[in-house]
Amino acid sequence: MQETIVFVCPHNAAKSVIAAAYFQQRADQLGLALHAVSAGTEPSPAVSAAVVEVLRKDGLDVAGYQPRLVTPEELTAAARIVSLGSDLQAFVPATVAVDDWDDVPPPSQDLGAACQAIRARVEQLITELQVTGTTEEERRVGLWLR
């Protein structure tokens, strides 16, 4: 069974798309049963063209991705939630843990720096997930750290 990691940014046009793409690529390389998705709190009509291009250079195709609104249901069901500058109060109860990656620079100002920061955060998250485990049983016995 795959666990879902949800990446959320306001417009689902840059940061969350980058994070989900890099995360899924790395999880697949490592053979981890993890599935990354991205969404936004106020979705844009399309993914940033610059993001599509930079990810294409890394072998990732997001050209057909359509930004979408995050749902409370998917956040509640997620194994992990990562916010990249989004206020998720309206979408999740206060008891649901959210990782805040608010230190990622705005892609519109420095796309390279944003990608680098997101890649570093993805690597940290992957390492943490490998160490702590992601299965429902592991979470029940307290091995899942959020």
Q: Which of 72, 51, 65, 50 is nearest to 6 (CA)?
A: 72
Q: Which of 36, 58, 52, 44 is nearest to 13 (CA)?
A: 44
The counts of H helices and E strands in the chain are 5, 4
- 138 confidence band (pLDDT: 50, 70, 90): very low
Distances (CA, A) of 134 to 34, 41, 62, 78: 9, 26, 26, 11
CA 75 to centroid of chain Cα atoms: 12
Position 114 scores a pLDDT of 98
Domain coordinates in residue numbering, the chain: 3-140
Whether the pLDDT of residue 10 is over 90: the answer is: yes
CB 3 within 8 A of CB 135: yes
- 133 confidence band (pLDDT: 50, 70, 90): low
* Averaged confidence pLDDT in the chain: 90
Q: What is the pLDDT of residues 87-129, one digit of tens each?
A: 998 888 888 889 999 999 999 999 999 999 999 999 999 999 9
Position 144 scores a pLDDT of 38
Position 2 scores a pLDDT of 82
Classify domain 3-140 at the CATH class level.
alpha beta
- Looking at residue 52, its amino acid is V
Position 137 scores a pLDDT of 44
Position 57 scores a pLDDT of 96
Average pLDDT of the residues in 56-85: 96
